[in-house]
Copies of this chain bind each other. A is one copy, B any other.
Amino acid sequence: MVTVGIKEVAQRAGVSPGTVSNVLNRPERVAATTRARVQQAIRELGFVRNGSAATLRAGQSRAIGLVVLDVGNPFFVEVARGVEDVVSDRDHAVILCNSGESPGREARNLRVLAEQRVRGVLITPADEDLSLLEDLRERGVAVVLVDHPATGDVCSVSVDDVAGGDLAVTHLLDRGAERLAYVTGPLGIRQCTERRKGARRALRTAGRPARALEDVVVPEMNASGGRLAAEKLLAGGLPDAIFCANDLLALGVLRALSQAGVRVPDDVALIGYDDIEFSSAAAVPLSSIRQPTYQLGKIATELLLEECDDPRGHAHQQIMFQPELVVRESSR
């Protein structure tokens, strides 16, 4: 493995290494003819700049980290699209990490990102403990919370989950539901508890007792989790209506109920959350709560890069979008 560095290029072009570096980083400072000669040498030798050396020297890499709860969830894929579209314009890179909703994996991911000296981190935290992020920020790494509202001294971009939960359950109640179930992932996940909070608010508003809503907690917020929840519900007596903390859960629930011969929406109404693309194509098109997912990623990234570029002049912002009810067959 022959490593051709800036030195070899310099030699071949008959200039000093410093000039090669200038060609790479501030081409306007070097005379056109020299520049051409250097670029030619770069091409001939197949030189590729060593990013680690540049990062070491600069103290920071041209990369940001994105830590999501579940890469398998189209919601986060869509967020990631928004992030990448912004970032690639500024020739930065995105390091995508998956915490799998586990604080342990999240911590490991953050450590890797810290080691890589990323400029900033976009993260949907796996639990309420943000102390690791605080540590990161003390190291000079900018942080923006995604889909997680912040209290003040940090940027965040989120969607009003309480309002979303309220929308969903109000809709189910309007439709005549008496006994409801809330299918959710671990309650350590903020989105899950907030949506439940909204759901309960809807009950109160409608003058119903809190016990009209039964929680069904499963360990993973995906289709298997949904199937598991459906089994529990089938065993314990079905409600009139089910609100799921995301669409993957809802699709799993729908699947398991159908296989058990339960008709949706005739026997049980069903609504999910996120409005992922597949929901509208499901066996029974799924009602859902729509969020501006792509925007979430895009705006979060803009805030992050703004903070990176001007850490002192930057004023932290907390942006919150409002979700939207999408009614389809599953709750009609």
Interface positions of A (Cβ within 8 A of B):
1, 3, 46, 48-53, 55-56, 59, 61, 71-72, 74, 77-78, 80-81, 84, 93, 95-96, 98, 111-112, 114-117, 135, 139-140, 223, 251, 254-255, 277-278, 280-285
Contacts of A52 in B (CB 8 A): 51-53, 55-56, 61, 116-117
6 A-B contacts, Cβ less than 8 Å apart? A48-B114, A50-B56, A52-B55, A72-B78, A93-B95, A281-B283
- Once A51-B117, A251-B281, A278-B251 are accepted as A-B contacts, the answer to whether A93 and B112 lie under 8 Å apart by CB is yes
- Copies of this subunit: 2
Distance in angstroms from A228 CB to nearest chain B CB is 15
In angstroms, how far is the closest chain B Cβ from the Cβ of A70?
10
A77 touches B84 (CB 8 A): no
Minimum distance in angstroms from A329 CB to a CB of chain B: 9
| Residue among A48, A74, A80, A98 with most chain B CB within 10 A | A48
- Other CB < 8 Å A-B pairs besides A52-B61, A71-B77, A77-B77, 19 of them? A1-B140, A48-B114, A48-B115, A50-B115, A51-B116, A51-B117, A52-B56, A53-B56, A71-B80, A72-B77, A72-B78, A84-B98, A93-B112, A251-B278, A251-B281, A255-B281, A281-B283, A282-B283, A283-B284
Residues of chain B within 8 A of A140, CB atoms compared = 1
Which of A95, A116, A140 is the most central at the interface, judged by chain B CB atoms within 10 Å of its CB? Answer: A116
Which of chain B's residues has its CB closest to A92's CB?
B112
Contacts of A51 in B (CB 8 A): 52, 112, 115-117
Question: Which residues on B sit within 8 Å (CB–CB) of A98?
Answer: 84
